[in-house]
Amino acid sequence: MNKKHLIWAFGAMLLTATACGGSKNQKADATLQEIISVTVPQFNSDSAYQYVKMQVDFGPRVPNSKEHVDCGNYLASQLENFGAQVTNQYADLIAYNGTLLKARNIIGSYQPENKKRIALFAHWDSRPWADNDPNEKNHYTPILGANDGASGVGVLLEIARQIQQQQPNLGIDLIFLDAEDYGTHQKHTGNFSEEAWCLGAQYWARNPHVQGYNARFGILLDMVGGHNPSFYREYHSERYAKDVNRKVWDAAHKLGYGNYFIDEARGGATDDHLFINRIAGIKTIDIIPHNPEGDWEFDPNWHTVKDDMDNINPQTLQVVGQTVLEVIYNEK
């Protein structure tokens, strides 16, 4: 018997119980609730950790580098292995300093024919410069971006593995965005504009991988693998997609992750979701750490050479991954 048949069977039981009345009714009602409540898969942080490490092992994934090309191929083939329909979106994008970036957004789609969809995003490139490093000597060294980039993609790859084993009710698009982190160097003397960031997201938002693409909502994962992060409801997410923030923070609290997902609205991040909201009009939130104390912003090792595997905590990947699974498997 599949799940639908089970629901009918128990529905019939419930009717019978109603006819008899009283405590039997309550019992049947409880059983019915149990049957119709969905089973959410268990996120495996060991595999997510491995997917983060695989990316970091390529070295910095800076656009126009061999490491970037190799990692892009790895990500596309992983999505294929997990049964997704893969779209590679190649684009020539111009960075703030005039550099032409050979960019590649990589999209893995499940149930592509399903009109009901959820979009999950993370950026897969890493920053060309550790311009926030305490040591000035490192300010032009590319970063490994274990947390800043690889963590979100690692969580999404584990979600892909889970989807292959058990499909949720909606179609899912896993969207690995490129050229997020080629934004203006801190030492730059010219203009600082937010459009210098998130070039892959801006491209995708103008040219989605499917014509007329839409999704019920989107979730962006950025720096979701650090040690003891606090995720506040981010400002732009709250502005564009308040109900999605609500849904995700409620799911996290239900799972007992209230010490990570702090239910307060805080500062904004100029991140991929901003352009997806603004340009594509898909209401999308950002799960990104914030430090209210203010001596650092997203992660103590943000844009430093210390954003390596030591900066990754599997428990954080677990908390975020399980929360996202809870949300997507409960959509009807």
**Cα separation values, 289 from 133, 230, 286, Å:** 18, 5, 9
Stretch that binds ligand AHN, among 129-137, 167-175, 210-218, 269-277 (CB under 6 A): 269-277
Close Cβ partners of 329 (under 8 Å, ≥ 6 residues apart): 38, 39, 40, 41, 168, 169
Which regions of 46-145 does DSSP assign to beta strands (E)? 85-94, 100-110, 117-123
CB 255 within 8 A of CB 323: yes
Q: How far is the CB of 126 from Zn ion (least distance, A)?
A: 8
Strands (E), the chain: 85-94, 100-110, 117-123, 171-177, 217-221, 231-233, 261-265, 284-287
Please state, in angstroms and rounded to a whole number, the distance separating the CA atoms of residues 231 and 266. 9
Measured CA to CA, the distance from residue 43 to residue 60 in angstroms comes to 27
Instruction: Please count the residues of this chain forming the interface with ligand AHN, following the rule CB under 6 A.
Output: 8
Residue with smaller CB distance to ligand AHN, 76 or 224:
224
Determine if residue 145 is left, alpha or beta; phi over 0 gives left, psi from -120 to 50 gives alpha, anything else beta.
left
**Whose Cβ is closer to ligand AHN: residue 28's or residue 220's?**
220
Among 50, 270, 291, 330, interactor with ligand AHN by CB under 6 A: 270
What are 78's two structure tokens? 């992983």
Report the distance separating Cα 221 and Cα 269, nearest Å: 12
Residue 269 site contact among Zn ion, ligand AHN, none (CB < 5 to 8 Å, cut-off depends on kind)? ligand AHN
Q: Which of residues 92-151 bind ligand AHN (CB under 6 A)?
A: 148
Q: Which amino acid is at 274?
A: L
> Contacts with Zn ion in 28-87 (CB under 5 A)?
none
**307 touches, from ligand AHN, Zn ion, none (C-beta below 5 to 8 Å by class):** none
Nearer to Zn ion, 153 or 163 (CB): 153
- Options 130, 155, 157, 269; binder of ligand AHN; rule CB under 6 A: 269
Stretch that binds ligand AHN, among 8-16, 99-107, 264-272, 312-320 (CB under 6 A): 264-272
CB of 132 to Zn ion, least distance (A): 9
Q: Is 228 exposed, middle or buried (0-12, 13-18, 19+ CB in 10 A)?
A: exposed
271 is in the binding site of which of Zn ion, ligand AHN, none (Cβ under 5 to 8 A by kind)?
ligand AHN
What residues from 163 to 182 belong to the interface with ligand AHN (CB under 6 A)?
181
The site partner of 184 among Zn ion, ligand AHN, none (C-beta below 5 to 8 Å per kind) is none
User: Residue 129 CB, nearest distance to Zn ion (Å)?
Assistant: 10
From the list Zn ion, ligand AHN, none, partner contacted by residue 234 (C-beta under 5 to 8 A by kind): none
- What is the per-residue binding string for ligand AHN in 194-233, x denoting contact by CB under 6 A? ---x------------------------x-----------
Q: Is the dihedral of CA 237, 241, 245, 246 positive or negative?
A: positive
Q: Of the candidates 131, 133, 234, 271, which one interacts with ligand AHN according to CB under 6 A?
A: 271
> Residue 281 CB, nearest distance to Zn ion (Å)?
25
Nearer to Zn ion, 183 or 218 (CB): 183
Closest CA to 46 of 228, 298, 312: 312
222 binds Zn ion (CB under 5 A): no
Which neighbouring-strand residues pair with 289?
A: 231
The dihedral built from the CA positions of residue 332, 223, 46 and 158, taken in this order, carries a sign that is positive
The burial of 72, by beta-carbon neighbours within 10 Å (0-12 exposed, 13-18 middle, 19 or more buried), is given as: buried
Q: Which of residues 138-197 bind Zn ion (CB under 5 A)?
A: 148, 181
Residues that bind ligand AHN (CB under 6 A): 148, 181, 183, 197, 222, 269-271
Residue ranges that bind Zn ion, judged by CB under 5 A: 127, 148, 181
